[in-house]
Amino acid sequence: MQVSLRVNGEERRHDVEPRLLLVHYLRDVCGLTGTNIGCDTSSCGACTVLVDGESVKSCTMLAVQADGREVTTIEGLADGERLHPVQEAFREHHGLQCGYCTPGMVMAAVSLLNEHPHPTEAEVREGLEGNLCRCTGYHNIVKAVLAAAEAGASQPVGAAR
Amino acid sequence: MTALAPETDHRVIGQPLRRREDPALLTGEARFLADLQVPGTLHLALVRSPYAHARIRSIDLAPALQTPGVVAAFTGADLRGEWAGPLPCGWPVTPDMKQPAHLPLAAEVAHFAGDAVAVVVAESEYAAHDGAEAVVVDWEPLPAVVDLEDAAKDQTLVHPDLGTNVCYTWQLEPDAAAVDRAFAEAAHTVSARFRQQRLIPSPMEPRGVLVVPQPFGGDFTVYSATQVPHILRVMLALTVGVPETSLRVVAPSVGGGFGSKLNVYAEEALALALARRLRRPVRWVEERSEHAVSTIQGRGQIQEIELAATAKGKVTAVRVRLLADMGAYLQLVTPGIPLLGAFLYAGVYDVPAYSFSCTALFTTLPPTDAYRGAGRPEATYAIERAMDLLAKKVGVGPEEIRRRNYIPADKFPYSSVAGLVYDSGDYAAALERCLERAGYAELRAEQARRRERGDRRQLGIGLSSYFEMCGLAPSRVLASLNYTAGGWEAATVRVLPTGKVQVVTGTAPHGQGHETCWAMIAADRLGVAPEDVEVLHSDTAVAPYGLDTYGSRSLAVGGSAIAVACDRVIEKARRIAAHQLEAAEEDVELVAGSFRVRGTPERQMPLAQVAFEAFTAHNLPEGLEPNLEASSHYDPTNFTFPFGTHLCVVELDTETGKVELVRYVAVDDCGVQVNPMIVEGQVHGGIVQGAAQALFEEASYDQDGTLRSASLLDYLVPSAAEVPSIETDHTVTPSPVNPLGVKGVGEAGTIGAAPAVMNAVLDALAPYGVEDLPMPATPERVWRAIHAGAAGSASAQGGSPA
């Protein structure tokens, strides 16, 4: 099937199997391997990307369902050499260790801050519930997201820039 | 004993430097195993047994071979000729240990649900899975052996050819009469039985392997999501029969391991054998639900612990009997895991008499092996739960029973009754600091108020004082435990012609931040900026020697190797500098990265200049070889023993049984901290993993040996919403056994947390007469315990505590 979408601001058009998951499309067809796969039950959130600015687990969506939409992956978040404020906050506050959950966690956090620019700690914890991390115990992830909020990180990403 | 490095004016060690690993990981540039693409790669999918125990009557591969995209398919019988040896077990703990045959594909009988019996090779991952689905296996189910006590009865044998389910028995009892005497004379005794449920390690990155034949640098390059590229190289050579010199093993970015990637797996051997056979790159990536059934699991023990104590609660003897679940086969260090705890069941306490015995048993479940803490969390759990039970018998608080029993700070180095020498410690100091940080008296007062008013949400306060044995390991000690390898670690340090420094390490990081920390150690030692130090690792072509990363060993052993290699580089550089400055060697000192002549500081030569002179070799002392490079193969003289006290506060909803972690205070002592930011991160993550054993996680099997928690929907790895922020603090008691004074911190949190959380849950349940609860303390178990425990009490009706 034909699918046509924008990925990180770039037009993409491909012929894909109808059963191809969006995450496999991004990784295997577009070569954007920053989006990781951590489970097979849509539980872990490692594959979280933004679709029209909102966080989506890209294993829950078929590539063909993204037709006509705007997808942002971790590769599209930084502004050239300048990290996005959420990426910067994760680095500053040691919000990552092995880094495997990180692309999904960062995208979920970006989406969270777009919806709630000034969340409480409890709101951050609830808001990131769909993203699992096995290394950090979440302490520094939560700290990073709160610090990013403080620094005014909320800015629309991936929605018609 | 080695002296600590002298204080200099250029301390990098101790700074919370941001990690150099992060930019690539934060932007998606980092390459994990599944991100590696090699043209022409074939993909593997495994056909696994749905039964815990079943004979293979026949396997029909034809439907798979007809599936579009499938290139080949093999049964265990087809591949029998590929193996030069079995999948390795490197720790035959006793000479008479029973070891079942274990090849990458089971050919006759599957011994656990998940045991692989056939492999399908295809042009794409999707096609490989389609092909595996199409394989038809005719199974004859056999009886499962799931329960450890059933296994011990030997009524159903997992491996009939071994004649028993007992893998080995192992005993440590320095003075049996002393133990008997202590129990005969005891004023108080405690006898408890704990179950260490099986855990699924669940690093966020599943396992995976890619084998590329005939590339640059060796006949096969094996890329694996592994913690142990060096061990893997040796073992794959032995199992698959490829000369070690034809194998290069690379661990790319690895997404966590927690012990589960400290192994040599069937899929790694299969990928190598099939790349050899098919002459094409071969790749396998584990799915999450596959991880639950085919990767090693953690824990899996039944523990019986007895304490003898005086009237005042001074412990006089500890006696432990373990049943340890090996699972169906012995993986790399499966049999040794209980031994890593065997010496530690007296905990941080000054105990004069000790008895430990372990019976290891085969079951028809996946093999157990190292999982964060490996033997040490189990030991700590048993003694720390038992100490709380003793406190109750003696009629004192849990903090007081611990105070009365700690090894005093002035007794270090301390020779334990089990035969270890603890390097350094001040256990009471960590407890007092923890109680103070937590506001212990006020917490107890709040608990009393809630109990008094029959609050629906009761408070529980739990303590645990843990220690662990890290810095694995002095090679001679390993020899005495029948471990087949050593415990050293290797490092090479080079100062390049431009003054930049290369550190080559044998450790294999997968989230710990070694690149950042190893650069800090070298920078500190050499007096250069950390950003001028490059750290190379995890590729056997670049770092040929190493024993990899596990057991909180990397800093204490690998970091020490770097420090020693730096010192050797400095010694050589000093000779060159002295020669060129025309001074006596003993008058030349390294200060802030520059060699100076004592007394005439204007006569100096920066390390970078010495490196350039060493490189040009135009004017070196007579007989000295060019270049500045030195190596160390550092073998530690002793283990290190990090320690600490953790305090957990839970709110327990007496109507629903739900336990909420409301506060967690941790005071840890891992000796000198190289990077305190990373130390804290390790503590946070460790605590949540330990708390998860107490409250959420269990590889739960039905009586047929079928896993009921095979996906992350059922196996509850906690999310951010289930845990609180963690209050950390530390004391610093340097280790005297290594040149950095460091101890290790990777497993500390996990070891301290499970008993702290369970002690808190049981503290909340104390008014209901509940003395024990199996882990995990699920709402259902807690609710049932409240109702069963309170059945005879008048307060049962209202659900409020007595």
Query: What is chain B's mean pLDDT, rounded?
Result: 95
Domain co-membership, A70 together with A16: yes
Decide if B562 touches A, using CB distance below 8 A: no
Structure tokens of A137? 């115990």
Domain co-membership, A106 together with A134: yes
Domain co-membership, A16 together with A61: yes
Q: Give the whole-angstrom CA distance, residue A158 versus residue A9.
A: 8
Q: Tokens 């839970």 belong to which residue?
A: B650
At residue B58, does pLDDT exceed 70?
yes
pLDDT band at B790 (very low <50, low <70, confident <90, very high): low
**Higher-pLDDT residue of B286, B791:** B286
pLDDT band at B789 (very low <50, low <70, confident <90, very high): low
Mean pLDDT of A64-68: 98
Decide if B150 touches A, using CB distance below 8 A: no
Domain co-membership, A7 together with A71: yes
Question: Which of A75, A109, A132 is at the close of a domain?
Answer: A75
Residue at A155 is within a domain:
no
Residue B543 CB partners (closer than 8 Å, separation 6+): B230, B490, B492, B504, B505, B506, B536, B537
Q: Per residue in B303-326, pLDDT tens?
A: 999 999 999 999 999 999 999 999
Question: Which of A25, A47, A75 is at the close of a domain?
Answer: A75
Q: What pLDDT does B6 receive? A: 46
User: Which positions 67-106 of B are in contact with A (Cβ < 8 Å)?
Assistant: none
Residue at A159 is within a domain:
no
Q: Per residue in B770-788, pLDDT tens?
A: 999 999 999 999 999 999 9
Q: What pLDDT does B797 receive? A: 36
How many independent structural domains does chain A possess? Answer: 2
Residue at A133 is within a domain:
yes
| B723/chain A closest Cα distance in angstroms | 8
Complex confidence, ipTM: 0.97
What CATH number is associated with residue A135? 1.10.150.120
pLDDT band at B792 (very low <50, low <70, confident <90, very high): very low
Domain co-membership, A93 together with A50: no
Q: Which chain B residue has its CA at the smallest distance from A49's CA?
A: B28
| A99/chain B closest Cα distance in angstroms | 5
Q: What pLDDT does A152 receive? A: 84
Domain co-membership, A49 together with A104: no
Decide if A32 touches B, using CB distance below 8 A: yes
pLDDT band at A160 (very low <50, low <70, confident <90, very high): very low
Domain boundaries, chain B: 488-634
Q: What pLDDT does A153 receive? A: 75
Q: What pLDDT does B197 receive? A: 98
Decide if B185 touches A, using CB distance below 8 A: no
**Interface contact B720-A46, CB threshold 8 A:** no
Mean pLDDT of B61-75: 98
Q: What pLDDT does B601 receive? A: 85
Taking contacts as CB-CB distances below 8 angstroms, the residues of chain B near A75 are 27-28
Taking contacts as CB-CB distances below 8 angstroms, the residues of chain B near A41 are 288-289, 711-713
Decide if A123 touches B, using CB distance below 8 A: no
Secondary structure of B717-764 in HEC code, one letter for each residue = CCCHHHCCCCEEEECCCCCCCCCCCECCCCCHHHHHHHHHHHHHHHHH
Taking contacts as CB-CB distances below 8 angstroms, the residues of chain A near B293 are none
The amino acid at B597: V
Q: Which chain A residue has its CA at the smallest distance from B715's CA?
A: A43
- Residues of chain B with pLDDT > 70, as a percent, come to 97
Q: B303 has which bridge partners?
A: B194, B322
Residue at A111 is within a domain:
yes
Question: Which of A46, A75, A104 is at the close of a domain?
Answer: A75
Q: Which of B644, B783, B760 is nearest to B694 (CA)?
A: B760
Specify the pairing of strand B282-285 against strand B208-213: antiparallel
Q: Does domain B488-634 have CATH number 3.30.70.1520?
A: no
Q: What pLDDT does A47 receive? A: 98
How far lies B125's CA from each of A23, A121, B474, B667, B792, in Å? 14, 41, 44, 47, 60
Mean pLDDT of B608-627: 97
Contact yes or no for B108/B56 (Cβ under 8 A) = yes
Q: What pLDDT does B802 receive? A: 35
Domain co-membership, A15 together with A70: yes
Domain co-membership, A62 together with A104: no
At residue B218, does pLDDT exceed 90?
no
**Interface contact B22-A96, CB threshold 8 A:** yes
pLDDT band at B214 (very low <50, low <70, confident <90, very high): confident
Q: What pLDDT does B801 receive? A: 38
How far lies A113's CA from each of A116, A154, B576, B722, B753, in Å? 5, 5, 58, 20, 32
Q: What pLDDT does A157 receive? A: 63
Q: Give the whole-angstrom CA distance, residue B649 versus residue B663.
A: 5
Q: Per residue in B123-135, pLDDT tens?
A: 999 999 999 999 9
Residue at A157 is within a domain:
no
Q: What pLDDT does A117 receive? A: 96
What range does the domain containing A90 cover? Answer: 85-150
Taking contacts as CB-CB distances below 8 angstroms, the residues of chain A near B680 are 94, 140
| A125/chain B closest Cα distance in angstroms | 5
Element (H, E) at A81: none
